[in-house]
Structure 1
């Protein structure tokens, strides 16, 4: 998997980079058909009283693109929220792909025609 991690208005330290990589390993355990991912960690300084830390990921899977974003006062908490949401979405996508809720067309019987009542 190709993973690109970048920071916006934030210095991306090796500790943050390593934290994101170890958290994303949990997602890769569930689903190994991940093509690439783009993680953006940013800080919004719109309000002077509080700084809003935001973590975003755009994950390109086989057959689907998933975009998740989360915000918190702490960057590590924002990353945790993002990974939790991403994990749920990836598991949902995997279940949808591997779900055997529908019978195969091969094993279905011939369609039965309904007779129209005579007037």
Structure 2
């Protein structure tokens, strides 16, 4: 996975990078085909904003979150990203397949 950190109106510290990497490990459990991710940190007067562009095979996901604390914004961002990746994975799986067990029990009762 290619990972890029960008800071707008702020310097990206190693502490922010480490914290974000630890949180991204949770996402990598759900998304096995992550191609690249770009994390952008910015300061808007008093509020801090964290954004991510996640490029999966077949889909691009863009999430952003604004909070008064940068670490709280990262937590909110990862929660939203986790839900979006799970939703994408559920949509990707076929839902109309008939289970083999149901077909076998019908044959035995005849």
Specify if TM > 0.5: yes
Residue in structure 1 matched with residue 27 of structure 2 by the alignment: 27
Gap regions ≥5 residues in structure 2:
99-110
Residue in structure 2 matched with residue 73 of structure 1 by the alignment: 68
Provide the C-alpha distance between the structure 2 equivalents of 1:24 and 1:65, rounded to a whole number of angstroms.
16
The count of aligned residue pairs is 98
Q: Which has the higher helix share?
A: 2
Q: CA RMSD in A?
A: 1.2
How far apart are residue 96 of structure 1 and its match?
Answer: 1.1
Gap regions ≥5 residues in structure 1:
46-50, 105-119
How far apart are residue 103 of structure 1 and its match?
Answer: 4.0
How far apart are residue 102 of structure 1 and its match?
Answer: 2.5
Residue in structure 2 matched with residue 113 of structure 1 by the alignment: none
Instruction: Report the TM-score when normalising by structure 2.
Output: 0.85
Residue in structure 2 matched with residue 40 of structure 1 by the alignment: 40
Q: Which has the larger radius of gyration?
A: 1
Instruction: Report the TM-score when normalising by structure 1.
Output: 0.79
